[in-house]
Amino acid sequence: MSEEMPNLTRFERRDVDVALTYDDGSEFVITYDDLRHACPCAKCSPMRNEDEASKTLRRQVEAHPKEKPQVRTVGNYALGFEWSVGCSSGIYRFERIWDLANRRDPDNGRPYVHGAW
């Protein structure tokens, strides 16, 4: 858990990635492929447990057309993304987006076991 996470103030959807601006002035880019590969839903998460399955997930994600997602805020703690194809189930907590922005493993190296968070 990142202790001093700044607040996300701007989420700009570009052609293949999103540009993020935080209230401490820092800026980041996350590609849609990275974002989709990191989907936290109960179906995608377990796929990242093993290298092979994770690569399969990666290939699936990369095969999708590059498109801007619909973005919805979920409460004050997360974002949801709606894609025209592929998985749209995951709710990304701001901590998760912050980890991705900083090129950190949002799963923290922990394999996904139902409930082992």
Partner 1 sequence: MADSPVTQHGANSGEVPAEATPQEQKQMEQAYAQMKRKMSMAEIGRKIKHKVMVLSGKGGVGKSTVSTGLALALAQQGLKVGILDIDITGPNVPKMMGLDGRRLHVESGRIHPAQGHLGVKVISMAFLLDNEDTPVVWRGPIKLGAIQQFIGDVEWGDLDYLIIDFPPGTSDEPLTVAQSLPDIDGMVIVTTPQDVALLDSRKSITFSESLKVPVLGVVENMSGYTINGKATANSEVQIAGPAGKTLKATADGEGNFSITIDIFKEGGGKSTADEFGVPFLGALPFDPGFVRGGDDGVHRIVSEPEGPSAVAFAKVVAALQDQIVDSSGSGLEII
Would you tell me which residues interact with partner 1 (CB under 8 A)? 7-13, 23, 39-43, 45, 71, 73-78, 80, 89-93, 113-117
Nearer to partner 1, 40 or 98 (CB): 40
Compute the least distance from the CB of residue 82 to partner 1, in Å.
Answer: 10
Nearer to partner 1, 43 or 66 (CB): 43
Q: Checking phi first, is residue 78 left (phi over 0); if not, alpha (psi -120 to 50) or beta?
A: beta
Contact 33, 18 (CB under 8 A): no
Nearer to partner 1, 62 or 117 (CB): 117
Compute the least distance from the CB of residue 78 to partner 1, in Å.
Answer: 8
Compute the least distance from the CB of residue 103 to partner 1, in Å.
Answer: 20
**Distance between CA atoms of residues 11 and 22, nearest Å:** 9
CA-atom Rg of the chain in angstroms: 14
Place of tokens 């209230």: 23
**Distance between CA atoms of residues 26 and 59, nearest Å:** 30
Burial of 99 (0-12, 13-18, 19+ CB in 10 A): buried
Compute the least distance from the CB of residue 5 to partner 1, in Å.
Answer: 14
Nearer to partner 1, 5 or 91 (CB): 91
